[in-house]
Structure 1
Amino acid sequence: MKIILPVAGKGTRLRPHTHTKAKSLVHVAGKTVLEHIVERVLTVDAEELIFITDDNGSQIEEFMEQHFPGVNCSYIVQKERLGPAHAVALASPRISAGDEVLVVFNDTIFVTDLAKIPDLCADCDGLIYSKEVEDYQRFGVNVVKEGYIVDMVEKPDTPVSRLAQVGLYYLKDGQGFMDYLEKTIAAGDTVKGEFYLPAVFMRMIRDGIKFCAPEIQAWLDCGKPETLLETNRYLLSGNRVGCAGTIENTVIIEPVSIAAGATVRGSIIGPNVSVADGCHIEASIVKDSIINADCRVQSMTLAESILGDAVQLTGSPRRMNIGDHSLVIME
């Protein structure tokens, strides 16, 4: 199986954290988003990981060489921003007859068992993974009839379906899929100047190709600061990553992840806190936050915060003389 990972894009919704790094290299629950995704796709027999990158591609390549040195990877640069279907189509030279293809977009971390693909795809030609949502108006949804997808509707006004597409796709015939991508691009089938995958899949469905829409267990958005913190909470509660760093005179309120190279002294950490390698935290209270590598936090109270790499944040203790029946709110 060939795995296509489109990791291009500026990640504008995650700024300032994506000003200097690829959006898939932002940390959550003790690992980068990319690390979470790659660990999941490597549960299948992956012959090659094909990364579609932009000008941050060297960061992706360096990361993979460091963290997954034994994995066969290739890198293709998307020089024109022509949409997700165009990005996936750039992998065409790497896809041969007989190749299965799994496409994984990097704004979300999925929770599902990819080993079940052969069983899920026994009576169809591909899988467009889905998740039932209440706010269906925000997403492109799959309309299913008698077990197969018959239509796709972008941000429907009425609840024709609540099965949102989650950015995870499997195709039995990878080369055939590439042919349909080429046809869609040649036909100029765009939305606001960009090529999207639903147009490709609907062309395939009209030609009799059958897709199922299996539901994943969890769909974890990493595209915005607030959703990144939600994902951090979810992953920490599920994995109990634990504290490997130097911990002195500190109260830990689980779940917490503290990397081996971090030091925490005289603080209260947790719940739902990730502290990366090289950090030093002292005399601070931190909860519901992500602290990236090489940060120094001194005498601070942090909640629902994200610190990028090598941030220095220093506060000061407060001296107060407060009388009876007082109410003090400090935000």
Structure 2
Amino acid sequence: MKIIVPMAGRGSRLRPHTLTVPKPLIPIAGKPIVQRLVEDIAKVAGENIEEVAFIIGDFGDEVEKSLLQIAERLGAKGSIYRQEEALGTAHAIKCAEQSMTGNVVVAFADTLFRADFTLDTNSDGVIWVKKVEDPSAFGVVKLDDYGFITDFVEKPQTFVSDLAIIGIYYFNSGEKLMNEINHIMDNDIKVSGEYQLTTALENLRQKGAKFSLGKVDDWMDCGNKNATVETNSKILAYEKEEMSHFTSTCTIENSLIIPPCFIGENVKIMNSKIGPGVSVGNNTVIINSNIENSLIQENTKINHGNLSNSMIGNSAQYYGVSREISLGDYSVLDFLNKD
């Protein structure tokens, strides 16, 4: 089985945190979003992952190297493709056409999930869905009495279904999907000015393909700061046993760590209370602070922080008493020395 990961988006809703790091590589509870995504899919798939193909923008050599290492950790071949223009979900998959053979899972790298089921590889396809309150922002599906999908509708303006497609799909034939994607692109068939995957899925369905549902227990978005911080807290709670300790390289003095928390390597925490729901990246220093439900990246310094629902990037410095902040990489915010 292959995993295809379109991830060329700019992540503009998560700025300033995506100005220096692509959103899928932002760590959640100590692991990049995209690494968690492919590991979760591998668990659900229940079979050997042959290849992981990443569809990226101009992210640079270091990012490409990191992505190939993620594939290697699964014992899979890593492949890199580039999407030069954002022309829709179907166009993104088209960029990885060379890898679209055999059994494939397509997973867009801005979401994480929790599910407890075995993937049915005998069906033509499986579409992961979750009930949502406002389906107008998503592609949705309609079902027949037997639980098979009867319609794919992209961002409906009138209610047709509350089963939103979360951006993860299984296909037993990557070749058949590519035939439909090539058809809609060759004939310039667009929805809202873009080539949409739901159009290709609807064409396959009309030709007799049977798509079943992959229901998820939890669908966790990483689209903006608040959603990403909430996802971090949820992942920590799901992995509470793994996240309730820190390594011997850390220095913890006169401080209370309330699990679940992730504490990276060489972290120094002094005269502080950390947790619950906090991730702290490698080499970060926290002094005289009280932090809960927050995401702190690597090589950062915090003094007198009284933080909740906050996100601080890499190599940043924060000195102050604000309750909620979003501070990007290499930024300095100092309320203690206003002069």
TM-score, L = length of structure 1: 0.88
Letter in 1 for 2:277: N
1:306 aligns with 2:306: no
- In 1, Cα distance between the equivalents of 2:116 and 2:94? 26
Q: Which residue of 1 aligns with 2:171?
A: 171
Gaps of 5+ in 1: 317-331
Higher gyration radius (CA): 1
Which of 89, 109, 114 is residue 84 of structure 1 equivalent to?
A: 89
* Number of residue pairs matched by the alignment: 310
- In 2, Cα distance between the equivalents of 1:54 and 1:251? 42
Deviations, residues 138-167 of structure 1 (Å, cap 9, x unaligned): 322110013211112233355432211000
Gaps of 5+ in 2: 322-339
Call closer, same or farther: CA 1:14–1:45 in 2, change over 3 Å: same
- In 1, Cα distance between the equivalents of 2:210 and 2:111? 25
1:56 aligns with 2:55: no
Q: For residue 67 of structure 1, report the CA deviation from its aligned partner.
A: 5.0
Deviations, residues 288-308 of structure 1 (Å, cap 9, x unaligned): 110001101112211111001
- In 1, Cα distance between the equivalents of 2:158 and 2:85? 35
Q: Which residue of 1 aligns with 2:191?
A: 191
Instruction: Give 3-state SS (helix, strand or coil) of 2:127's partner.
Output: strand
- In 1, Cα distance between the equivalents of 2:257 and 2:275? 6
RMSD after superposition: 1.8
Letter in 2 for 1:108: T
Instruction: Give 3-state SS (helix, strand or coil) of 1:40's partner.
Output: helix
- In 1, Cα distance between the equivalents of 2:71 and 2:185? 34
- In 2, Cα distance between the equivalents of 1:65 and 1:111? 24
Call closer, same or farther: CA 1:67–1:191 in 2, change over 3 Å: closer
Greater mean alpha carbon deviation, residues 238-247 or residues 48-57: 238-247
Letter in 1 for 2:19: H
Tell me if structure 2 keeps the 8 A contact 1:143–1:149.
Answer: yes
1:131 aligns with 2:130: yes
Instruction: Give 3-state SS (helix, strand or coil) of 2:119's partner.
Output: helix
Letter in 1 for 2:127: I
Tell me if structure 1 keeps the 8 A contact 2:28–2:232.
Answer: yes
Q: Which residue of 1 aligns with 2:293?
A: 288
Greater mean alpha carbon deviation, residues 70-79 or residues 53-62: 53-62
Which runs of structure 2 are paired with 1:259-270 in the superposition (5 Å)? 259-270=264-275
Q: For residue 137 of structure 1, report the CA deviation from its aligned partner.
A: 3.1
Letter in 2 for 1:117: L
Q: Percent identity?
A: 36
Greater mean alpha carbon deviation, residues 55-64 or residues 152-161: 152-161
Q: For residue 242 of structure 1, report the CA deviation from its aligned partner.
A: 2.3
Greater mean alpha carbon deviation, residues 274-283 or residues 245-254: 245-254
Q: Which residue of 2 aligns with 1:242?
A: 244
Letter in 1 for 2:299: D
Tell me if structure 2 keeps the 8 A contact 1:21–1:59.
Answer: no
- In 2, Cα distance between the equivalents of 1:76 and 1:243? 38
- In 1, Cα distance between the equivalents of 2:184 and 2:116? 31
